[in-house]
Every structure is written in structure tokens, then in C-alpha cells.
Amino acid sequence: MEFRHVPVLFNETMEALKVTPGGTYIDGTTGGGGHSSGICQRLEGKGLLVAVDRDMDALRASEKRLEPYSCSKKFVHTNYSDIETLKNQCGPRGADGILLDLGVSSFQLDNPDRGFSYMHDAPLDMRMDEDDSLTAYDVVNKYDQKELERIIREYGEERWASRIAQFIVRSRDNSPLMSTGELVDVIKAAIPARARREGPHPAKRTFQAIRIEVNGELDHVRKAAESLPDILAPGGRLAIITFHSLEDRIVKQAFNKRLNPCTCPKNIPVCVCGKVPDVKKVTGKPVVPGKEELEANPRARSAKLRVIEKLDAASREE
């Protein structure tokens, strides 16, 4: 299956990264190489792209797509939160730009074999890295009811989490749930008919929740948003595209902590902790897709882009 990838907020992201020939840039979620190709084009044959993905299919597709570009390229099979590996790849000076696009790729959603989609009947998998051991089958069939309910409520923001968890446990008591199709049927049975007639597909939120759990997504987002600024060169930018409120909240909080690191009690008139910001905000409110992009790519509708820039030593002391 061809790895189709429609890069979200492409122009906005390229502008935010300020790609400069000769620089070093990390695409931590290279996917099919959509954003990576934009970076390579702007490097004009001078500089380095570090293309990272936890999905080997994505890396292979990205490598093929980026063949026409003459800049230096490294393809790294790891998670974008693997800070030490990324630091080693970009050298002692650091990265001039880092991009994370946290959306699930169209390839993963549309490939029935991967089990990400509620629109195809497939084995319960949902692993972004097929070397990982935990699968959607394990979550659905081995987690207790209370834990299932927590995951579906917190990660899926699903109002019917309690009933869905109850119905899953009741169904698996007869026989394990083996496929996405079986899980969709259970979810539909759990949600009252009147609720199924409104809003998105009834299984959307539960599938999102299980996918997040299988891949440890929120933990990786938190670690990356907090630590990736450490490997930016002065003037380097970190751009993160999120697709749901849980991710966006984590990124916003991590950026704000960098922007406001002072730990002094608020009633003290002068800072005594000595902690000063090492980044500045590039975007105020998050950047969102325009009407034209939404018409061309409806999957972009929930995307939000936040960007910060690393300060040099002189700017921090001012």
C-alpha cells in the first residue's frame, strides 16, 4: 500500500521553522515525508535533515520520497521523545528547527492491516511501532473494566465510557474480541441510539483512546515538549502540531513552563530563584488551518500549531 501523506498546515509550518540553507533540522514524525520534503527543498542542498519515525513503513516511504533532494539526510527509527538519540544525530551545536506532527498518518488510518481505523475490519493492533509488545487486543481483552473506563473517558473524552467498558467486558467474557469490526459492534451496542445519530462515528473516541494507550502517546508528547528545547541551537525553533485537546494542553503547559520558569512565591516582589526564560513565544494563539485547507483535507480540522524559539545567552540576561 502506498504511504499517502497530506502534510497539515504545510505553509504555516515552513514559515514557522524559518528553514535556512546549511542548517540542521529534525522532523520527528516524518510520516510519508510531506513536511520533510518541504524542509529539504528549502535547505537547497546544504544542511542536514534528520527524519525520525517509530513506524518503519513511514521511514521507508520517507526515504524514497526524499531521494530527489541533495541535502544530507539521516533516517532514524526511534520515537520523537528519544531526546538523547536526537541530540546525538544533530551534533553539539543542536538543531536549528524541530517539527512534530502528532497526527496519525493517512497510511496508518487507511491500511486495514494496522487496525487503527473503525472503518475497516482488521486485527486489533494499533501499534505505530510494530516492534512494541502492547497491542489494542491486549488493552481490550486484558484490562479490567475500571481501567478501560478510565482510558476511554480520559483519552477519548467519551461520555459513554462507563457503558462502553461494561459492554466490552461482558462481550469478552463469552469470547475475546479479535477484530476492530467486533469492537465497533460492541461500542455501537453500548451507546444509545439517539446519541449515535449525532456527532462523529460512535467508535471514534474509543478508538482514539485505545490508540493513545497502546502507543503511550501522551507520555511521549509530554517528554518531548518539555525536553526538545534543550537540543535547539540559539535561534532554533520547535514547532508542534497537535490534533486533540489532550495533546494541545500538554504542549501549551510545557511551553508556558519554559516561558515562565520562575518558582518564587507570587507574593515576593523580586525574583530570587534566578530562573529566566530560555525560549520566546513565536505563536500567541495556536495557528489553525484556513478554509481552503479544510476543504481540501477535512482531517486537518482539529490541527493546532504552536511554536517557540530558543534564546541565545545574551537575550536571556536582558
| Cβ atoms of residues 44 and 72 within 8 Å | no
Which part of the chain has CATH 3.40.50.150? 10-101+218-315
Q: Regarding predicted confidence, which is higher, 196 or 288?
A: 288
The pLDDT tens digits of the residues spanning 226-242 come to 999 999 999 999 999 99
Q: What confidence score (pLDDT) does residue 317 get?
A: 57
The pLDDT tens digits of the residues spanning 125-177 come to 999 998 999 999 999 999 999 999 999 999 999 999 999 999 999 999 999 99
Which part of the chain has CATH 1.10.150.170? 111-215
The pLDDT tens digits of the residues spanning 268-285 come to 888 899 899 999 999 999
Q: Regarding predicted confidence, which is higher, 20 or 2?
A: 20
Q: What confidence score (pLDDT) does residue 266 get?
A: 85
CATH architecture entry for 111-215: Orthogonal Bundle (1.10)
| This prediction's pTM | 0.91
Residue 289, amino acid: P
User: Taking residues 65-77, what's their average pLDDT?
Assistant: 96
Sheet order of strands, 48-53 included: 72-77, 48-53, 24-27, 95-101, 232-242, 304-310, 279-281
Sequence ranges of the binding site for S-adenosyl-L-methionine: 33-35, 53, 80, 101, 108
Q: Regarding predicted confidence, which is higher, 56 or 318?
A: 56
User: Taking residues 83-90, what's their average pLDDT?
Assistant: 96
Pick the CATH number of 10-101+218-315 from 1.10.260.30, 3.90.25.10, 3.40.50.150, 3.40.50.2300: 3.40.50.150
In this structure, the strands spanning 95-101 and 304-310 are: unpaired
**Bridge partners of 305?**
241, 287
Sequence ranges of the binding site: 33-35, 53, 80, 101, 108
